[in-house]
Amino acid sequence: MLAGFRTMSIDQAKQATAIVETIKPHLAGLDPALQGAILCELLALWIAGHSPVIRDDMLAMHVQAVDGLIPICEAELFGDEGHPDTRTRQ
């Protein structure tokens, strides 16, 4: 699912997916604000680990990858019809 990170090997993608599956239960059921705070801190730690010279580019690359994953994750969560709010606005 992490196709946005094109430099990743297949083994790394599999490892990332396995770690995500391990983390999901820890986030499930938490308040969305708490989920967001957790993800925000993890992202900030990841960005901080890069040279200040490339941080803006790393953040932009990450946001682009997330944007590409949203439709895939939405289908995983809600099926082919998408998020319920999408269905009510049509």
Span between the terminal Cα atoms of the chain, in Å: 28
Which residue ranges make up each domain of the chain?
A: 10-89
pLDDT of residue 48: 97
pLDDT of 64 = 93
Tell me the per-residue pLDDT of 27-50, one tens digit each, with 9 for 90 and over. 999 999 999 999 999 999 999 999
Read off the amino acid at residue 22: T
Q: Give me the pLDDT at residue 7, please.
A: 74
Tokens of 2: 């992490």
Name the burial class of residue 19, with classes exposed (0-12), middle (13-18) and buried (19+) by CB atoms within 10 angstroms of its CB: exposed
**CA dist list (Å): 43 to 47, 49, 50, 83:** 6, 10, 11, 25
pTM of the model: 0.78
Query: Which stretches of the chain score pLDDT less than 70?
Result: 1-6, 87-90
User: Which pLDDT score, from 0 to 100, does residue 82 have?
Assistant: 86
